[in-house]
Amino acid sequence: MNALVSRGSLFDDFFKDFAPGFYVRPLHGDGLPTPAQIKVDVKEDGDSYTVQAELPGVPKEDIHVSIDGAVVSLSAEIRQHDQQKDGEKLLRSERYYGSVARSFQLPQEVDAAKSKAKYDNGVLTLTLPKKLEGKSQRLAIE
């Protein structure tokens, strides 16, 4: 019935069903995602891995990818702003600032020098060639 995402704790969720009119829900927008909410697909072909991560609404300048051997780390700074037009009366304003990060280990080390990152329509696509040895390196996002 209500498609808004809750922002409370487990305790809040328990009492939300008990007294549904007691809690005030935001007028719009979602809270900051948790690391588990960054949806990641990892595919492997013969000589590389392809990673697709959903990061909607995040400018590519605020996304950071680093590779350390077989460990891939994704982090993003999330900023959500309210805008008010002329002649509007502001009743409530919500702004979200924060960062989210996620790391995962691949079965084999990655060649960071040959890796590529592309961000398009809220989806970050990483092409990570396999390598036996590697050093940590930050990727530039296209």
pLDDT tens per residue across span 75-102? 998 876 666 666 777 666 666 678 888 9
Query: What pLDDT shows up at residue 85?
Result: 67
- Say how far apart CA 93 and CA 22 lie, in whole Å: 20
Residues 120, 54: contact at Cβ < 8 Å?
A: no
Domain spans, the chain: 33-138
**Residue 101, C-beta contacts closer than 8 angstroms, at least 6 positions apart:** 35, 73, 74, 75, 76
Query: What pLDDT shows up at residue 125?
Result: 96
- Tens of pLDDT, residue by residue over 27-78, are 445 555 555 578 899 999 989 999 999 988 788 899 999 999 899 999 998 8
> pTM here?
0.63
Its CATH class, for the domain covering 33-138, is mainly beta
- Say how far apart CA 35 and CA 100 lie, in whole Å: 6
